[in-house]
Structure 1
Amino acid sequence: MLNNLYKSLKTDLDKDSFNKLKREQIQWLDEKMAKEKGLSKDKLFMYQSLALVTINRCEKFNERYYK
């Protein structure tokens, strides 16, 4: 879901806007991986939390770029 949205934005945005988004996305991925590390003891909670984080990211992309 997020990957498809990211690919669409790559074609829809101008180069500068996409490069800004790319930098933000790298930072977001680093933060997501840190959360994953901290939650790794409870796998079910970890997967639920990471799914919610990803869904929220998709919603943010939609609000920012497609409304």
Structure 2
Amino acid sequence: MFALHELRRSFSMNWLYLTIGIVLGVAGIGMLLFAMTSSPILKKNRLERRRQAAENHRPEEYH
């Protein structure tokens, strides 16, 4: 009976560690994606593209 109790306990601990690992992994991926999207280089490129689009925009073509 003692062995069965220990088996259940270790099984539940494994699920706990697996759940914590998955949560931390998802949080890490989210932080990585956030860091990539808020990169200064990407912001600079985005601003340059917007500036070029504004320069190329000709309002007289859109009546």
Query: Per the shorter chain, which TM-score range?
Result: 0.3 to 0.5
TM-score between both structures, scaled by the size of structure 1 = 0.39
TM-score between both structures, scaled by the size of structure 2 = 0.41
| Structure index of larger Rg | 2
